[in-house]
Amino acid sequence: MIYGAVKFSIGGPLKLAFRPWVEGLENIPAEGPAILASNHLSFSDSFFLPAVLDRKVTFIAKAEYFTTPGIKGRMTAAFFKGVGQLPVDRSGARGAGEAAIKSGIDVIERGELFGIYPEGTRSPDGRLYRGKPGGLARVALATGAPVIPVAMIDTEKIQPPGKVLPKLMRPGIRIGKPLDFGRYQGMEHDRFVLRAVTDEVMYEIMKLSGQEYVDIYATAAKRQIAEAAKAEKQAQKQAGQARKEAEKTAAEKTAEKTAEQGQKAQKDQSGRTAEKDNSADQGDKDDKGNKGEQERSGS
């Protein structure tokens, strides 16, 4: 009931304003459970995908979205519940993994659609990163539900990470054919099987999205980007300090040179004054000598 109301109030205006194009909508089953495994480019991915589907899609979200105090926190919690998000507590040794798996299995057992982002977080640069083998593969193997690869296209251009206001442009959603992993049934605790299932899904997403694939986790890429940004900031700070020191040194040298020039000028002026005084004294002597000579000649 709430989901339908929220979808009508948000999904309708979203489709009207952004006009997302969709390919492969026929690959979504009209009924029965399925896992929608999508790339993750933007916060808005969880809104655009449900907006174009007739069926409810349940995603998982950080528990913080549901527990923030205050009016804004309550409104945020109501909104996420309304759009079918399930809270997952990231605390504990194994983080969100076990909670996400349990939530996903519960959704599948109800015969519904479960949405998951195998990368675990949004792409920091628009590329497709290695999928985490825990949630997606374990839910698929534990339930036998088909996995439907989904590619969100250009949503990062509408609302990149950190941006609040979206830009009006047309995103795309490309839905692939369901993948059946029945051959691995009962092997959800085999890490090699989990890796193989996840990699196969990521490969299908890559084909649908056309993204460049990077064989590291997005979380690791984010750390690298943050460390690089920190290093660059530190380098800029050091360069600024070096520039200030250089400017200070140059100013001191200029002041020292000016002082030396002033001293030299003063010395030259004193020399000219002394020379002038000597010339005056010599002139007085000459005058006295001439006068004495005249007096002698007159007598």
pLDDT, tens digit, for every residue of 97-152?
687 788 899 999 999 999 999 998 899 999 999 999 878 999 999 999 999 999 99
Percent of the chain with pLDDT over 70: 83
Contact 1, 34 (CB under 8 A): no
| Token code pair at residue 208 | 């649908």
State how far the Cα of 138 lies from the Cα of 155, in Å rounded to an integer: 28
Q: Which residues of 224-234 are buried (b: 16+ CB within 10 A; e: fewer)?
A: eeeeeeeeeee
Extract the tokens encoding 24: 């492969």
The CB-side HSE value for 10 (13 A sphere, CA atoms) comes to: 18
Report pLDDT digits (tens) over 224-257. 888 988 888 888 888 888 888 888 888 888 888 8
Q: Please say whether the beta carbons of 134 and 232 come within 8 A.
A: no
Could you say which DSSP state residue 150 is in?
A: E
Answer yes or no: are the C-beta atoms of 211 and 39 closer than 8 Å. Answer: yes
Rounded CA separation 16/96 (Å): 35
CA distance 38 to 122: 11
Cα separations in angstroms, 104 against 45, 81, 189, 202, 264: 18, 15, 16, 19, 87
Contacts of 124 (CB under 8 A, 6+ apart): 161, 218, 221, 222, 225
Q: How far is CA 276 from the centre of its chain?
A: 77
Mean of the pLDDT values across residues 256-260? Answer: 84
- Residue 296 pLDDT: 61
What pTM value is reported for the model? Answer: 0.75
Q: What pLDDT does 104 receive? A: 92
CA separation for the pair 36, 175 (Å, rounded): 9
Lookup result for tokens 């990699």? 199
Q: Tell which residue, 207, 173, 180, 134, has the closest CA to residue 35.
A: 180
**Residue 72: pLDDT band by 50, 70, 90 thresholds?**
low
User: Cβ atoms within 10 A of the Cβ of 23, count?
Assistant: 14
Closest CA to 60 of 129, 5, 134: 134
pLDDT at 93: 46
With CA atoms as reference, report the closest residue to 86 among 109, 120, 58: 58
Do 108 and 136 meet the contact criterion of CB atoms below 8 Å apart? no
Contact status, residue 111 vs residue 158, Cβ threshold 8 Å: no
| pLDDT value for 126 | 94
Q: Count CB atoms within 10 A of the CB of residue 91.
A: 9
Other residues' Cβ atoms within 10 Å of the Cβ of residue 61: 17
pLDDT at 82 over 90: no
